[in-house]
Amino acid sequence: MTSLQYIEQVAKDRVAATKKAKDGDKYQEFPEFGPGDTVNVAVRVIEGEKERIQNYKGIVLGIQGGGISKTFNVRKISNGIGVERIFPFHSPMIQSIEVLSKGRVRRAKLYYLRGMSDKKTRQKLANRK
Amino acid sequence: MKAAILGKKKGMTSYFTADGTHVPCTVVEAGPCYVSQVKTNETDGYNAVQITFDEKSDKNVNKPLKGHFAKAGVKPAYVLKEFRDLQNDLKVGESLTVEQFEVGDFIKVKGTSKGKGFQGVMKRYNFKGVGMATHGQKNRQRHPGSIGQSSDPSRVMKGLRMAGRMGGDTVTIANMEVVDVFPDKNIILIKGSVPGTRNSYLEIYK
């Protein structure tokens, strides 16, 4: 194990430990997901002293990077306006990720969904034969 | 100088703090360094400590150096560096480890920057280039422009910035923060980037 890999492992373990300390029994590892899946990301929001959970639901457009710097991009339509949020996969601010539905896609990056209507997006991600 | 060590840049990664802040940092394998010579004002005219880093096998050492290492009683090493006026009273053969540094310390890091080869003035000195891309302009987008005046002084001023070799310089960066220290693995984590390529040698001191 090189020193770089060792440090990444330490950083990952440290994040997992802080999350375990905060969530206790509720702590769980993230499920596997990929581009095209609809996910619900539970994000911690710190307001002054208090901390609460905010849910962010959308379609995964792609996964970038690897190791500790891995990120994923989630797109949703909020009040008619497209919003894309990039989450660091190993951030302690993400409490949990829930996969709501799997999408059938043939590309690693779904940037072509950006111009599409809701209906078209649904049709694109549907599990056809 | 309160503390000094030699290290090897290993690459960059990220660290997360508890509140979710993403900290970019450089992994440096530093030490253990051994004192191979102590220079004093009386004998050498200045105070300094010479330390070794990065062990190498006996067969790769030439005879004069072999004698030097044997005299100090330390293992042969690739790097020998002197640090002037180190505050702690070090003796020959003593070791210096990353434990000299603590989390939150502000340190200086010295290394050789990556060589960029022969570069134009835009990359080397951040010149803006000449004029526009259209309106009859031709071939001059990345040029330096005028380099002098007229028949007076009839020459180009000394030290005028022009194209040339870039990089490969000794660069010192001050006020770099220590993010974490791993004494058992001889690793020190520094916030931000440091000069040089991977596996290049660095001087770290405060």
Residues of A in contact with B15 (CB under 8 A): 11, 68
Statement: residue A5 has pLDDT above 80: yes
- pLDDT over 90 percentage in chain B: 56
Of A117 and B119, more confident: B119
Which chain A residues in 96-125 lie under 8 Å from chain B, judged by CB atoms? none
Contact flag B15-A11 (C-beta cutoff 8 Å): yes
Which chain B residues in 38-97 lie under 8 Å from chain A, judged by CB atoms? none
Read off the pLDDT of each residue in B93-113 and give the average, rounded to a whole number. Answer: 91
Supply B69's token pair. 């290492």
**What is the predicted pLDDT for the residue at A122?**
82
**Å between B188 CA and nearest CA of chain A:** 10
The helix/strand/coil state of A96 is strand
Which backbone phi and psi does A110 adopt, to 5 degrees? Answer: -100, 45
| Cβ contacts of B172 within 8 Å, gap of 6 or more | B108, B109, B110
Reported as a single tens digit per residue, the pLDDT across A48-107 is: 888 888 999 999 999 998 888 899 999 998 888 899 999 999 888 888 899 998 888 889
Supply A78's token pair. 């909020």
Interface with B, mutate which of A2, A5, A7, A15 (most B CBs under 10 A): A7
- pLDDT over 70 percentage in chain B: 100
Length of chain A: 129
**What is the predicted pLDDT for the residue at B5?**
92
Reported as a single tens digit per residue, the pLDDT across B124-182 is: 999 998 878 888 888 888 999 999 999 999 999 999 999 999 999 999 999 999 998 99
Statement: residue A129 has pLDDT above 70: no
| Cβ contacts of A126 within 8 Å, gap of 6 or more | A104
Is the separation of the CB atoms in B61 and B69 below 8 Å? Answer: yes
Average model confidence (pLDDT) across chain A? 87
Asked if A88 has any chain B CB less than 8 Å from its own CB, the reply is: yes
**Å between A14 CA and nearest CA of chain B:** 8
In angstroms, what CA-CA distances link B202 with A104, B26, B57, B166?
50, 12, 21, 20
Residues of A in contact with B10 (CB under 8 A): 2-4
Percentage helix, strand, coil for chain B under 3-state DSSP, each rounded to 5: 10, 40, 45
How many Cβ atoms sit within 10 Å of the Cβ of residue B102? 11
Tell me the one-letter amino acid at A75.
R
Preceding omega of B144 cis (within 30 degrees of 0):
no
The whole model's pTM is what? 0.83
The helix/strand/coil state of B114 is coil
